[in-house]
Amino acid sequence: MDPVGALERLGGIATTERLLRLTTPARLRAAWLAGTVVRLRRGIYALPGAERAIAAAARFGGIVSHLSAAQLHGWEVAFPPTCPWVTVPRNREVRERRGSLVFWADLDDERRPVTTPLRTVLDCGRRLAPGPALAVADSALRHRAVDRDELEVAAAGVRGKGAAKVRWIAAHADGRAFNPFESMLRELALRAGLDVVPQQPVGLPGRTVHPDLVDLRRRLVIEADSWEFHTGREAHDRDCRRYDELVLAGWTVLRFTWRQVMHDPDWVLECLRSLA
Q: What pLDDT score was predicted for residue 231? A: 54
Distance (Å, rounded) from C-alpha 187 to C-alpha 193?
A: 10
Helix/strand/coil for 215: strand
Distance (Å, rounded) from C-alpha 276 to C-alpha 192?
A: 7
Q: What pLDDT score was predicted for residue 230? A: 52
Contact present, 145 and 189 (Cβ < 8 Å): no
Task: Name the DSSP class of 194.
Answer: -
The model carries a pTM of 0.85
Domains of the chain: 3-46 (no CATH), 50-172 (no CATH), 180-273 (3.40.960.10)
Tell me the one-letter amino acid at 252: T
Tell me the one-letter amino acid at 166: V
Helix/strand/coil for 121: helix
Q: Residue-wise pLDDT tens for the chain (276 aa)? A: 888 888 888 878 888 988 888 889 999 999 988 888 888 778 888 888 777 888 888 888 899 999 999 999 989 999 999 899 999 988 888 877 778 899 998 887 777 889 999 999 999 999 999 999 999 999 999 999 999 999 999 999 999 999 999 999 999 999 999 999 999 999 999 999 999 999 999 999 999 999 999 999 999 999 998 755 555 677 778 888 899 999 999 999 999 999 999 999 999 999 999 998
